[in-house]
Structure 1
């Protein structure tokens, strides 16, 4: 059935007013979808006006036939949305533009209606809603496809630069090839990422919880440091943050805190600064420092080499390492005593915090440390014995790690 207003087919009337409708949409859309105001005038007058005309013609055909457009007929809208995605347009502004266009078409129709045309207006309104739903689906599909491709390209570019910097390859040439800025230096971080509570909650798929955590981690890093290079899993990460030639950059502590807060999981990071040529070596050092800090019981925060220098040095192979580890041999069959020493080291020799960490009374901690004195001859009241005992713990962990890797 042909829809008529005032005795004349509506599709004929709309076709006659096509140019006026297009001008009205072009002039109005920038007020409601501000991103369109950024377009060069030539692009507005030609490219944007052309897709408005194409969309309006598609709706006129719907009015003429009563049938919704096919996927092929909607492809120009999807392609146009894809171009806007590549230019950085938010999807919300694109959908707003279609709302504006459809509203203006209906505004053009209403004044033509007479007293007997209410039913026609109702049918036109239903056609408009159905048409708008299909156009928005096509535009969303085109925008998402282009956005996904853009994200893949951006990720690929960053991954290529990360590989080049870590591998000691021609990082500058790679940066120029992929269109990224190469800073004079990087803040290098190696991260250990703890579990989110959902990952260990019965009835929750831990893989799904881990992926959600990882997505939040990446988003938090993108906000904190948009130019950072990163390789992440749900449990570990390597992050390179651009810094100045003086090897200074915004607080690694703040970055790690933001990431931990977003992930809802504890994060321990080791940090080293290095010029581009030294990033690979800095990452190796940061990874070793991270292992030492984790062995000392650290689970959160940012650690630097100077924070664990003694323990780090004692974990390097030497004649003294095995001798120090042997000092704890009398505790081999005393797991409670070893656990207490590990907790004491992690809590920086604070006995009250150690008791809380072990969920025991502080008197229990004191009793166990007296037992350590009796079995090893090392008294934690004595400063020299305290240093020796902490060194023996570090040496013992190094020996254990060496046995595991054999």
Structure 2
């Protein structure tokens, strides 16, 4: 098993029964075994194996570096790591089985030495191939994440070039002609690492809604999900309740994570087209901000349910005047305005039932009754009177939205 000579040039081998045609046949067979992985990804691997079998020579550093480059190329071409490794292992097996020199060898020591040399090449080459693949995959993931963040930022901003966004969204499976809605999830504390939360959300949302037209990302400390509204509706129609809608689906999964609880999720309304995504995002962000201002502990906030606040706050000067005129007298109470405001809030939320309001506030019914009478005395508006109730409730809405009395009312007092 001597007399083999290595020729210059990639993939070229000759000598003592080894020729390019034979190695090419081995490469084609290995490619078929690995599901059609391109034979070019073998590079000079087969000549290295053949030479090791004949001479026992171990691969040089430069030759292994070339294998690592092939691993990176495999990752860039979308070939899986398993298929790439299978290509190399299958090529080694076929070469060993079909080698004319080994078929004629009768000395067991020669065969053992050849096997040891070949296995060394296989071990070194596969390890280097996998390392190159892993490096390329990490680079691709980082590049994809950067592109994803840029795309999400531009989609939520809504002021980018439409044609460019359509082209950039296509690789992520996003059809901007569909109706989408945006949901935001806020953790109680800033997460040290959002990867686990993103992975968990992607797993459950892709399983329920599919991986087309769905994006999961982060923005300003919030988890962002962009999903097609018709997919959410189809999931609901298929009987996915009680976690069929996007907000509850997200909250149910995030609540299982060890960090971030309690989560609060806000969902914007569905809107069509590119600018519909930005509009839904603004609604979700506004709903989340409003829920935090109102100190609402609701797990899932629907922007649709907070439309009344948007209407009330559209004319903020008028709302400030209403709060100041109706509720500012509550500040003269011994405990300040906050306890009375909380009582009004609970009383209105329970449909004017004092016993239920007392239960929510963890006070006695007598305390609720006393506070309502105090409100009537200070403001001149009776919470139990239908005519006064609307004025008081609108003023309470405004106070919560303006974060009064924790924050002073804007503008000079009249």
After TM superposition, the score normalised by the length of structure 2 is 0.67
| C-alpha distance in 1 between matches for 2:147 and 2:351 | 43
Q: Which residue of 1 aligns with 2:307?
A: 309
Q: Which residue of 2 aligns with 1:212?
A: 196
| C-alpha distance in 1 between matches for 2:384 and 2:198 | 45
**Could you tell me how far 1:58 is from its partner in structure 2?**
1.8
Matches within 5 A, 1:139-150: 139-150=129-140
Q: Which residue of 1 aligns with 2:371?
A: 372
1:93 aligns with 2:86: no
**Could you tell me how far 1:268 is from its partner in structure 2?**
0.8
Going from structure 1 to structure 2, the CA distance change for 1:328 and 1:67 (only over 3 Å counts) comes to farther
> Per residue, is there more helix in 1 or in 2?
1
Matches within 5 A, 1:243-282: 254-263=245-254, 264=257, 265=261, 266-274=263-271, 275-282=273-280
Tell me, yes or no, if the aligned pair for 1:292 and 1:312 is still in contact at 8 Å.
Answer: no
2:289 pairs with one of 288, 291, 295: 291
Deviations 1:309-360 (A, max 9, x none): 33443344123233454375448548677667777888999999989988x6
1:227 aligns with 2:245: no
**Could you tell me how far 1:216 is from its partner in structure 2?**
3.4
Deviations 1:187-230 (A, max 9, x none): 2424132259xx8xxxxxx624x443244345655664443355
| C-alpha distance in 2 between matches for 1:175 and 1:308 | 31
Matches within 5 A, 1:345-356: none
2:161 pairs with one of 170, 176, 179: 170
**Could you tell me how far 1:151 is from its partner in structure 2?**
3.7
Tell me, yes or no, if the aligned pair for 1:85 and 1:143 is still in contact at 8 Å.
Answer: yes
Q: Which residue of 2 aligns with 1:399?
A: 402
**Could you tell me how far 1:98 is from its partner in structure 2?**
1.8
Corresponding residue SS for 1:400:
coil
1:55 aligns with 2:52: no
Tell me, yes or no, if the aligned pair for 2:64 and 2:128 is still in contact at 8 Å.
Answer: yes
Tell me, yes or no, if the aligned pair for 1:183 and 1:242 is still in contact at 8 Å.
Answer: no
Q: Which residue of 2 aligns with 1:44?
A: none
Deviations 1:62-97 (A, max 9, x none): 445655424421233333333332332221111122
Tell me, yes or no, if the aligned pair for 1:51 and 1:76 is still in contact at 8 Å.
Answer: no
2:328 pairs with one of 323, 326, 329: 326
Corresponding residue SS for 1:372:
helix
Structure 2 unaligned runs (5+)? 6-14, 237-242
Corresponding residue SS for 2:163:
helix
Going from structure 1 to structure 2, the CA distance change for 1:9 and 1:283 (only over 3 Å counts) comes to same
**Could you tell me how far 1:16 is from its partner in structure 2?**
1.8
**Could you tell me how far 1:52 is from its partner in structure 2?**
3.4
| C-alpha distance in 2 between matches for 1:72 and 1:331 | 84
| C-alpha distance in 2 between matches for 1:293 and 1:308 | 9
1:20 aligns with 2:22: yes
| C-alpha distance in 2 between matches for 1:272 and 1:331 | 43
**Could you tell me how far 1:232 is from its partner in structure 2?**
0.6
RMSD: 4.6
| C-alpha distance in 1 between matches for 2:90 and 2:212 | 34
Tell me, yes or no, if the aligned pair for 1:172 and 1:182 is still in contact at 8 Å.
Answer: no
Deviates more, 1:343-352 or 1:75-84: 343-352
Going from structure 1 to structure 2, the CA distance change for 1:195 and 1:289 (only over 3 Å counts) comes to closer
Tell me, yes or no, if the aligned pair for 1:325 and 1:392 is still in contact at 8 Å.
Answer: yes
Tell me, yes or no, if the aligned pair for 1:379 and 1:385 is still in contact at 8 Å.
Answer: yes
Q: Which residue of 2 aligns with 1:102?
A: 92
After TM superposition, the score normalised by the length of structure 1 is 0.69
Corresponding residue SS for 1:191:
strand
Tell me, yes or no, if the aligned pair for 1:217 and 1:259 is still in contact at 8 Å.
Answer: yes
Tell me, yes or no, if the aligned pair for 1:22 and 1:52 is still in contact at 8 Å.
Answer: no
Deviations 1:164-208 (A, max 9, x none): 442423212343367556522542424132259xx8xxxxxx624
Going from structure 1 to structure 2, the CA distance change for 1:323 and 1:20 (only over 3 Å counts) comes to farther
Q: Which residue of 2 aligns with 1:241?
A: 227
